[in-house]
Structures are given as structure tokens and as C-alpha cells.
Amino acid sequence: MSPEIRELAELDDLRQLADLFAVVWGRSGEPPISSDLLKALAHSGNYISGAYSEGRLIGGLVGWLGGGPPAGLHMHSHILGVLPDREARGLGFELKQHQRRWCLSRGITSMEWTTDPLVRRNMYFNLSKLGAVAPKYLVNFYGEMRDGINTGDESDRLLIAWRLDSQAAEAAASGRPNELDVQKLRGWGSGEIVSVGHGGEPVARASSARVLICQVPEDIVALRHSDPGLAREWRLAVRDALRGSLDRGYEITGATRSGWYVLENQ
């Protein structure tokens, strides 16, 4: 049976959600967002949801409304957390689609959030599975973070922008994401600006090809624990490659399952 996703507003439910986030982020007793703040967000009409399997909370998503003239309102989707349970497979996608429908029913057509550019599963999820784009690279956006996922690294982030009524978002919601093939991209003359070397190190190259591809390590979270120095090398290499390419007029237009960003010079 599929998990049940519903909006949360009661304090007991919000306390459970805060505790779940603490577990997911490795911050026992110190959740990344507190239940009192969640209560204030819910009370003021923002988006908070929880996903339940047989009555047990296994995931949740929090966002709030921001922006204003001239661009209009948008949803800032701040935190999504899912327990590593069997029942939770695919739940991140279902939570985002629930949030998307919530926004569209209120006339809100754009959503933004940030993501660590080195986390491979997130890049594919955001840019291909959901059909979003990444227009900005933000250096050390949150400053030092002390949770079990980010500790020891600078908090660089990509800004993710999701046009909720776009053709890409509609196709993704229908189970037809834009699947990119890195071998085909190579065959079409794309330029590799970062790739994984024989020893797991980042290998950077310059390229002025119309299409660029940039690889990230398989598991940056594990690498931060096993080899912090190498993780730092990856942070700097991908920062220089993506930020530099965006500054030169490229756009990040997608990502592959195998851990490659795809950038195009429009």
C-alpha cells in the first residue's frame, strides 16, 4: 500500500516531524527545524506535509511562500526528509508532486530550493526526475553546518528553480522524465570539464564546446568521512567548473543517472 501524504498542523504531529528530520540529518535531539517554528509556519498558511505508512511517519516536506512584485509569489521548498525504509522508496518524488499540486491549486506556478551540487542522487532527482533547472551557484550559502551529512565541508548550493506548469514538469509528473545519455553526449562532441580520475580525484579540463558535462563523485557524504581532503578537492573543482561555466553564459539543463551535469551554451 502506498504511503498516505497529508498536511500537518497539530503540534504533536509537528513534533514528530521535527524528530524525523533530526534522525535523517544525524542531529539527535537537535532537529534542523524546530516544532515551534513548524507550528508558526503551519498557522500562517504555509506548506507542511507528512507521509505515513501504516500510521507511522516516514517522511515529510516543509515550504513557505516568498517573493512578491514584480515576479509574484513562489514557494520556497526548504526541507524534505525521508527515512531509509523500504516503504519510502519513491516517496521524495511523491512528496514533491503533492507540494506541486498544493501550489498549483493556489495559483502558484514557481518553486525554488537549494541543493548540494556534489550529491549525485539529488542532482538527477531535481533536474531530470522533476524537470527543474539550476540557474545559480551559491558559494558557502549556509556557512558552517554541523549535521551528520554536511559537517566538515563548506555549504555550496545550487539554486533549483521549478516551473510547476512547464512542459518538463508536466512530463516528469506523468512519469516521462528527460533521460540523458552521457555516451551520446560524448559522441556529439560535448566537453568534459570535470571527471573522476583513476584514484577518485577530480580531473578538471577547459572546454568551449556548446555542451559541457561535469561529473561528481559517487558518494560525497561517505567521502567526507573517509577522506575529507579529497572531498574538499571535489568541492573546489565542481565550484570552479559550474560557477565559471554559468558566468560564461552556460545553463545547467539536466543531469544523468550516472552523475553528470549537462550544461548548454544558449
- Residue spans per domain, the chain: 4-173, 182-265
Are the C-beta atoms of 149 and 32 separated by less than 8 Å?
A: no
Asked: is 4-173 a CATH 3.30.9.10 domain? The reply is: no
Residues 6+ apart with CB under 8 A from 152: 224, 228, 231
CA distance 15 to 29: 11
C-alpha distances in angstroms, 51 versus 84, 85, 100? 13, 12, 15
pLDDT score of 147: 58
Segment 201-260, tens digit of pLDDT: 999 999 999 999 999 999 998 999 899 999 999 999 999 999 999 999 999 989 999 999
58 in helix, strand or coil?
strand
Q: Has residue 151 got a pLDDT over 70?
A: no
Q: Average pLDDT in the 122-140 region?
A: 95
pLDDT at 115: 95
Confidence at residue 184, expressed as pLDDT on a 0 to 100 scale: 85
CA distances from 150 to 45, 144, 235 (A): 30, 9, 12
Q: Is the pLDDT of residue 148 over 60?
A: no
pLDDT in the model for residue 95? 97
- pLDDT band at residue 186, thresholds of 50, 70 and 90? confident
**70-91 mean pLDDT:** 86
> What confidence score (pLDDT) does residue 38 get?
98
Alpha helices, H only, 131-219 = 167-173, 182-187
| Range 37-64 average pLDDT | 96
What per-residue confidence (pLDDT) applies to 241?
97
Q: Give tens-digit pLDDT for 13-46.
A: 999 999 999 999 888 788 999 999 999 999 999 9
The answer, yes or no, to whether residue 263 has pLDDT greater than 80, is: yes
Round to whole Å and give the CA distance between 62 and 83: 15
At 150, is the pLDDT very low, low, confident or very high (cuts 50, 70, 90)?
Answer: low
Q: Minimal CA–CA distance to 95: which of 59, 132, 133?
A: 59
